[in-house]
Amino acid sequence: MRDLFHFSKENFMLDRKKNYVYMFILAFCTASVLLFFNYMNNDSYKVVSIGGSFFSDNNANLFVMTVGLIMILAIGGLMYVISNTFLKQKNKEIAILHLSGVNLVRISVYFLMQIMLVLIKAIPLGIVLFMIMNPLFNGVIGLTTGMKIPLFYISSEAVVSGLMVIGIVVVTLAIAAVGFAYQSELIDLLSGPSKNSKPLPISHIRMPKVVWWLLYAIAIYEITTVSGQSRALCLMCGMGAIALNKIIKKALPKVFMLIRTKFCINKKERLIAIGRASDLIVYLSGYICITFIAITFLMAFMIETMSDIKIFSILCMSYFIIIVLMNLALFYRNLVETPNQLHQFRTLYYLGFQRKQLNKINRLELFILFIMMTISPIIFGGVMIATNLSFMPLSMGLILIGFSILCTIVSLTATYYYRKRLLMKEGALS
């Protein structure tokens, strides 16, 4: 067992940059969970009424609690998704253990050690981040609403409840680690994280692709027919998310193929970049849709609650936190995929591509991903804002959309320069 621990610790340090990013994301998630539990237990945040048709005066405080719980569930789900990505990048390490004759019990222990090496640092760091974020959160809400909120208010019940939720997530991650060890086949482990997932069976009844484009267009049109009604807006956003997911998986690859054959046949860099971007977008389809839902749903609630500055301010803070978390997660997922990207770029280098050409492919691929990450939320968010100017000022809507775009730019720019530096270091671009 001691040898297994040393092996786990050595591998952790060899891949420490990725592990530290994963650790920081978990720490930020921990801080966010504690923050929302704290505001739910803070009497200063209790409200008297909420404007709009959806929420009655009697349900105002229930709404505050509901928003907090939704955010906690979303953050907990994000922690699980990111941890699953963390486990998948350990494939080859587990394959080495398999080939060395290590049994599944010890491999499961290895997984648990890997996760615990991160968590024993992430959770204390998350508590420290919470201590820093809490007065900032209270201060911003106090300044924008005029409420008298103690800057350093911390509820002991909130801390206990938050740590209990984190504990449940940790146990879930441990169970997932053991399950992953038992279900993984050696051939899958050796093939790498991006090839580990098996395609789902395709139904014999196939929906025409035009149906999903039509559903997407109908959702956008219906947004223009409702005004200040969060229930109807959320319903349309949900319809748009379903259509978007199908479009990305079923229709967009055909569109990209058409663009490549019609306009890029004699432009090698664009041909390769669009093909790589198409595969990456399909791989990140679930993440793109989650980002779309987070942005549009929160924006829909903000439109209806604009008249109540207390609730609106809390929703704004929730929006900013979830956007930061989603883009940290995006950066981490791209970070994990970098070894596969490195192999592909090295192959292109051996085929005769020069450094400038490979840089161009890298840049164009991430630019296409940026467009996909931002265009759908911008369309829906822009239409919602344009048709609800009586509820939300245009300047506020532009700030919300602009913040989302800025975070995505920062995340993908960091991905670009990390890829470029790693490729240079490995010699693929030398």
Mean pLDDT of 220-246: 81
The more confidently predicted of residues 297 and 310 is 297
How high is the mean pLDDT of the chain?
A: 75
Confidence bin at 203 (pLDDT 50/70/90): very low
Confidence bin at 164 (pLDDT 50/70/90): confident
pLDDT at 4: 62
| Least confident window among 117-126, 305-314, 378-387 | 305-314
Amino acid code (one letter) for 276: R
**What is the Cα gyration radius of the chain?**
23
- Kindly tell me if the per-residue pLDDT of 204 is higher than 60: no
Residue 120's alpha-carbon distances to 114, 115, 341, 406, in angstroms, are 11, 9, 31, 32
**Token reading at 171:** 């146990």
Write the pLDDT tens digit of every residue in 24-39: 888 888 888 888 777 7
Same domain for 207 and 171? no
Same domain for 157 and 64? yes
Q: How many angstroms separate the CA atoms of 233 and 220, rounded?
A: 10
Q: How many angstroms separate the CA atoms of 3 and 265, rounded?
A: 54
- Kindly tell me if the per-residue pLDDT of 69 is higher than 70: no
Determine the structural domain holding residue 92 and report its residue range: 1-196
- Enter the pTM of the model: 0.74
- Kindly tell me if the per-residue pLDDT of 245 is higher than 70: yes
- Kindly tell me if the per-residue pLDDT of 171 is higher than 60: yes
Where do we find the tokens 């350990």?
90
pLDDT at 79: 72
Percent of the chain with pLDDT over 70: 70
Same domain for 135 and 226? no
Q: Choose from 30-44, 242-256, 329-343, 378-392 the range with maximum mean pLDDT.
A: 242-256
Confidence bin at 387 (pLDDT 50/70/90): confident
pLDDT at 8: 63
Percent of the chain with pLDDT over 90: 1
pLDDT at 425: 66
Same domain for 304 and 426? yes
Same domain for 182 and 212? no
Confidence bin at 191 (pLDDT 50/70/90): low
Same domain for 376 and 317? yes
pLDDT at 59: 52
pLDDT at 194: 46
Between CA 145 and CA 153, with CA 148 as vertex, the angle to 5 degrees is 115
Write the pLDDT tens digit of every residue in 347-385: 887 888 887 888 888 888 888 888 888 887 788 888 888
pLDDT at 328: 84
Which of 196, 228, 247 marks a domain boundary? Answer: 196
pLDDT at 68: 63
Same domain for 72 and 206? no
Confidence bin at 51 (pLDDT 50/70/90): very low
Q: Burial letters for 198-214: b for 16+ Cβ neighbours within 10 Å, e otherwise?
A: eeeeeeeeeeeeeebee
pLDDT at 1: 57
Q: How many angstroms separate the CA atoms of 230 and 297, rounded?
A: 8
pLDDT at 64: 61
The more confidently predicted of residues 402 and 140 is 402
Confidence bin at 278 (pLDDT 50/70/90): confident
Same domain for 176 and 36? yes
- Kindly tell me if the per-residue pLDDT of 178 is higher than 70: no
Same domain for 170 and 249? no
pLDDT at 91: 64
**Residue 212 contacts residue 251 (beta carbons within 8 Å):** yes
Number of domains making up the chain? 2
Confidence bin at 7 (pLDDT 50/70/90): low
Same domain for 50 and 159? yes
Which of 150, 170, 196 marks a domain boundary? Answer: 196
Which of 134, 169, 196 marks a domain boundary? Answer: 196
Q: What's the DSSP call for residue 250?
A: I
- Kindly tell me if the per-residue pLDDT of 186 is higher than 60: no
pLDDT at 295: 79
Same domain for 7 and 117? yes
Q: How many angstroms separate the CA atoms of 384 and 398, rounded?
A: 12
Same domain for 350 and 400? yes
**Residue 110 contacts residue 97 (beta carbons within 8 Å):** yes
Amino acid code (one letter) for 246: K
